[in-house]
């Protein structure tokens, strides 16, 4: 307002130039120009202040929005803190239970390995007077495997157990009866020489299965092995140990295997062990 008054006065003064000296006129003219420049400077400052005010208002709105979001997140965290604590406690409990389960499995496996080794050593001692080519005993993948040659057990192409095999089967049966917590799997195996007959056995499938069940019956009826512990069957020529291209290889493939292992239900119990809650 003061600026405009100065301008008005200056205008009046200019209008009165005829009443003043040239020196006074020049002074007033210079003052007028300075006022004009000052007005322009003040207007620029006003525009800059308006821009700054607009920017600050936008920044304030953004900060307010961020504040509201942070407050909402904090409220949610405080609300869920009890649930999170419970979940962490549950997770720690499950980890501890899993560690206990792993230790239990390791202990059970170590116990089974020890029992299998003791069983294997006992079998080897009881059969030490039998030719190695006729009987082989070994522990494989947690089970004890006894491999009996066909020439010791049967006549060629036949499945009836020879009397000479009774002694060996009797020693095997004694160990089986001593370890009454184990199951017994008996498998007959043949070479790939074709067998064709109108009577039993008709082929290698029949021969292998009949040989397996024949040994099972001897163990049951003559040496008192509980038949509920026995599973018997045949694998024909499809589980060879050696090549069928040689005489010795075919002889090795013609075998009956007695596999002694933890009872199936005991094994399943071990597999069904779950971490304690």
- pLDDT tens readout for residues 89-106: 665 666 666 566 555 555
pLDDT for 128-150, tens place per residue?
666 567 888 887 766 788 899 99
Q: What percent of the chain has pLDDT over 70?
A: 63
**For residues 149 and 241, is the Cβ–Cβ distance under 8 A?**
no
pTM confidence score:
0.56
* CA–CA separation, 258 and 255 (whole Å): 10
Estimate to the nearest angstrom the gap between the alpha carbon of 218 and the chain centroid. Answer: 45
Residue numbers in the chain where pLDDT is lower than 70: 1-20, 41, 44-45, 48-49, 51-52, 55, 73-120, 123-124, 126-132, 141-142, 263-277
Buried-exposed string 191-222: b where 16+ CB fall within 10 A, e elsewhere: beeebeeeeebeebbbbbbbbbbbbbebbbee
Residue 267: is it exposed, middle or buried by C-beta count within 10 angstroms (0-12/13-18/19+)?
A: middle
């Amino acid at each position: 307002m003061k600026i405009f008054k100065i301008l008005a006065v200056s205008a009046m003064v200019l209008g009165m130039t005829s009443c003043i000296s040239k020196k006074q006129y020049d002074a007033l003219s210079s003052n007028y120009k300075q006022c004009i420049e000052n007005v322009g400077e003040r207007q620029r400052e006003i525009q800059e202040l308006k821009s700054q005010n607009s920017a600050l208002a936008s920044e304030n709105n953004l900060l307010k929005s961020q504040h509201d979001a942070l407050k909402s997140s904090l409220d949610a965290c405080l609300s869920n803190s009890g649930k999170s604590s419970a979940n962490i406690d549950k997770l720690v409990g499950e980890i501890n239970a899993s560690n206990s389960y792993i230790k239990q499995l390791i202990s059970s496996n170590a116990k089974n390995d020890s029992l299998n080794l003791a069983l294997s050593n006992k079998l080897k001692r009881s059969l030490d007077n039998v030719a190695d080519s006729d009987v082989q005993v070994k522990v494989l993948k947690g089970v004890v495997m006894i491999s009996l040659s066909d020439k010791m057990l049967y006549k060629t192409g036949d499945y009836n157990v020879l009397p000479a095999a009774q002694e060996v089967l009797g020693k095997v049966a004694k160990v089986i009866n001593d370890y009454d917590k184990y199951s017994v799997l008996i498998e007959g195996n043949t070479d790939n020489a074709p067998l064709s007959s109108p009577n039993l056995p008709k082929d290698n499938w029949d021969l292998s299965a009949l040989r397996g069940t024949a040994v099972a019956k001897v163990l049951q009826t003559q040496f008192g092995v509980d038949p509920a512990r026995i599973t018997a069957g045949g694998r024909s020529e499809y589980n060879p140990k050696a090549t069928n291209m040689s005489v010795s290889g075919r002889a090795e493939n013609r075998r009956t295997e007695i596999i002694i292992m933890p009872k199936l239900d005991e094994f399943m119990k071990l597999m069904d062990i779950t971490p304690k809650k």
